[in-house]
Structure 1
Amino acid sequence: MRKVFQAELHQVGEQLIEISRLVAEAMEKANQSFVNADIELAQEVIAADARIDFLQNDLDERAIEILALQGPVASDLRMIVGALRMSASLERMGDLARHVAQLARMRYPANVSPESLRPTFAELAENDIAIARKLTELLDTRNLELARDINRHNDRINELHAGIFKAIAAPDFPGNAPTAVDVSLASRYFERFADHGVSVARKVTYLVTGEWAPNGASH
């Protein structure tokens, strides 16, 4: 029975890694659709989100079944409860990538962002994609240096996000009210994507060390 239990735990862990991999892929493609006003790629991201949702639901059902039938204790219990919470954050990251793609689709054939803010959005996306890729590796390896890297990327994203809101408020903002709304929403999606990545990284850190890292810790 113990071997079966360990195999089930391993399967839950593998499914988390797979969801994280799909989330990284979703943000990469969502960003390409956002940058290039690529409606076909945007539609691909939107459709693919159903796969992430399915895997999250399947993982949650599997984890709840383990809780009900196996009666795990101590560290095993932390792992299962942690997996449930991490899967919710990963699913939300997939939703946020989908939201970016939906913005790109809604404004097609125009770009969502005015040209002056495109370098900022490019850096936001670059950091988000780095977080998603490192999160997949962190879930696989439990190398906590990756968690520290994720926090550093998130710090930079917070700076960029604040800068976009300053740009929107500036009198020389090169756009109308709908553009300002689109830009603020897009920036928020990128920023929240990173926040959920940090949340997953904190949970992995807790599973490894038994201690909660403080919110926003970078070192």
Structure 2
Amino acid sequence: MRTKFAAELAALSEELGRLAELASLASERAAVGLAQADLTAAYEALAADEELQTGYTACENRAVILLALEAPVARDLRQVVSAIRITDDLSRIGSLISGIAEMAVRYFPDPLAPPEVAEQLAAIGRATAELIAATNAAIAAPPGKGDALVPPDPELAELRAEVLARVSAPEWPHGHTVAMDLALLIHHYERCAEHCGRIGGLINFFHTGTPLSLEAAE
């Protein structure tokens, strides 16, 4: 029975890794689609998210069955609970990335970002994709590799704030629609970063048993 349970846990971990890879791929392709008005890259991001959402349902079902039928204890229980919550964060990241890719599709063949914010927006897309890739690496890291946890990125937050300041300025010359779309885009990127941070906390919870609520209080 224990051998079967260990095999199921391994399969759950493998599926979780696949979902993380899809989230990383989607974010990288969406960043290219947005920065270069690349329709193919945007559609690749949407396809990756569609596959991620399908895998999310299967992964969640597998985890729930493990909880219901196997009654795991201690570290095994933490692994299953962490997996459920991480898959939810990955699913939300995928949905946010799809929203970004859909904007690139909607504005094609023109870029969404006017010249004065194009460089910052491209940098935000690249940095967010790198953050999600680091999250993917943290999920795949062997137990005890605490240095693989996703670090905070103050530079990314500064870039987002800079773009928001530009689009909300009274002298913004490109109209309310573009300003609102750019603000929504920045919100999507900000939420992606928040989910990456939560995943880092969940990985720490799995390894140490420290709940996210206690981490936030420190």
Secondary structure at 2:151 match in 1: helix
Return the TM-score normalized by structure 1: 0.91
The verdict on how the C-alpha distance between 1:26 and 1:57 changes in structure 2, with shifts beyond 3 A counting, is same
Give the structure-2-normalised TM-score: 0.92
1:139 is matched with 139
What's the C-alpha RMSD, in Å, of the aligned pairs? 1.7
- For 1:55-80, what per-residue CA distance to the aligned partner results, in whole angstroms no more than 9, with x for missing partners? 11111111111111111112211111
Map 1:25-174 onto structure 2 (within 5 A): 25-141=25-141, 142=143, 143-147=145-149, 150-153=150-153, 155-174=154-173
What does the per-residue CA deviation read over 1:77-120, in whole Å, with 9 as the maximum and x for residues that have no partner?
11111111110000111111111110001111111111111121
Query: Which letter maps to 2:122?
Result: A
Kept in 1, the 8 Å contact 2:78–2:205? The answer is no
- Write the letter of the residue equivalent to 2:146: L
Which stretch of structure 1 is more off in the superposition, 111-120 or 205-214?
Answer: 205-214
CA distance in 2 between partners of 1:151 and 1:172 (Å): 36
Take 1:64 and 1:144, find their aligned partners in 2: how far apart are those partners? 27
Kept in 1: contact 2:23–2:48 (CA 8 A): no
Residue 152 of structure 1 deviates from its aligned partner by 2.4
* In 1: Cα distance, 2:30 partner to 2:158 partner: 21
For 1:17, the equivalent position in structure 2 comes to 17
Separation in structure 2 between the aligned mates of residue 95 and residue 37 of structure 1, nearest angstrom: 20
Unaligned runs of 5+ in 1: none
In structure 2, give the amino acid aligned to 1:14: E
Q: What SS does structure 2 have at the residue aligned with 1:98?
A: helix
Q: Which moves more between the two structures, 131-140 or 21-30?
A: 131-140
Cα offset for 1:43?
2.1
Q: What displacement does 1:15 show? A: 1.0
Runs (5+) with no aligned partner, structure 2: none
- The number of residues matched between the two structures is 214
